[in-house]
Amino acid sequence: MTIKITDPITINGMTLKNRIAFAPFFNIPAGEDGEVTALTLRWFETRAKGGIGFIMSGAINPIPMPEQARQAMKAMTTPLTRSLCGLDQEWMIEEWRKVTDFLHSYD
């Protein structure tokens, strides 16, 4: 039997539509305070529309970023290159739930 990269695979009870995975990246666009934005959603949507079976989120800051570091990042980046999405506030959990629900709509 020949296994193809486009064949579904089940791993620990989770079935993926194919064996193509998108490795985590550091360059996920985010809002000034690390929030998920429309640009964040489009960034992930582009990968989901392409048929990727498993998308890893990449760099997400799990603790509050010190103000000095936050200001330095804002000074060095634009919304297209800002890359530290946050998950350090309760309201951010719901934002990421929207991202996962949105991506699963492409299953």
pLDDT in tens, 69-98: 777 777 776 655 566 788 888 999 999 999
What local confidence, expressed as pLDDT, does residue 63 receive? 83
How far apart, in whole angstroms, are the C-alpha atoms of residue 100 and residue 98?
6
Q: How far apart are CA 43 and CA 66, in angstroms?
A: 26
Give residue 11's pLDDT: 95
pTM: 0.75
Of residues 18 and 84, the one with the higher pLDDT is 18
**Structure confidence at residue 35 as a pLDDT band (50, 70, 90):** confident
Q: How far is CA 78 from CA 29, 55, 72, 82, in A?
A: 9, 24, 12, 6
